[in-house]
Amino acid sequence: MENKEIIDIATKIIALMVAIIGHEIMHGYVAYKYGDNTAKNAGRLSINPIKHVDLVGTIILPALLFFSHAPFLFGWAKPVPINMREVINNGGYKAAIFVSLAGIAYNFSLAIICTIMLGFLNEPTTYIGLFFVYLVLQSLIYNVVLGVFNLYPIPPLDGSHALAYLAASNGWYGIMNFFDKIQRYGMLILLLFIATPLSRYFFAPIGYIVNYLIHLA
C-alpha cells in the first residue's frame, strides 16, 4: 500500500469520526445549556471517541462502504441521551428546535471553516503537508454529507425532529399527526432513498454543495 493511499484512508476515518462525534456532542451541549444534564451526567459531552462509538454506525457501516468502494463513507455515533421535556420546560419549543439542529449547525460550520482553510493552503511538498490537506478536504466533504443528510425531514433524522417541534409550537396538528404516523416507517423510507436509484437525487445536493465550496476555496 502506497503512502498516499494510507494517508487517504487515515484522513477519511479521522474526518468521519470528528464529523459524527462532534455532531452528537453538540446535541447534548445545547441541551445542557437549556438545563438538561442528561448527556453531561452520562459522560457524553466528552471528546473521548470511545464513549460515542456505535458498533454498526461507527465501525461496520463505514467499513462496508470503504471495502465496497463507495464514493464516500457514512456513519453515525451513538445518540447522545437528551431529556427533551426538560429542554422544552426551560426554553420552550424554540429550544427543542435548537437542540435538534445543533449537530447540523456544527457540521456546516466545520465545513465552512475547512473551506476557508483550503483557500490558504499551498500545494503540499511533504507527506505531512499532504496529510493535512487531505484531512481538511475530507473534513469538508464529510461535514457536508452529515449536515445535508440530517436536514431531510425523515424520521429519525434531525430535520424531522426540528420540523415536528416547529409544528408543535405553531399548532400545525396535521404535520404533527403525519410524523406520528410515519415514525415507525422512517428507516424503511430512508432505505428506499439510499439503496435504490432514488439515491442519485437524494444525495445530489451534497455533490453540488461540496463542489461549490471547493471551487470557492
Give the residue numbers annotated as catalytic, written as ranges.
24
| Nine-digit cell string for 144 | 457536508
The residue type at 60: I
CB 138 within 8 A of CB 15: yes
As a whole number of angstroms, the distance between CA 53 and CA 55 comes to: 6
Instruction: Report the alpha-carbon distance of residue 159 to residue 166 in Å, rounded.
Output: 10
- Quote the CA–CA distance of 217 and 214 in Å, as a whole number: 5
Q: What does the alpha-carbon distance between residue 108 and residue 144 come to, in Å, rounded to a whole number?
A: 6
Q: What is the dihedral of CA 80, 86, 91, 93, to 10 degrees?
A: 80
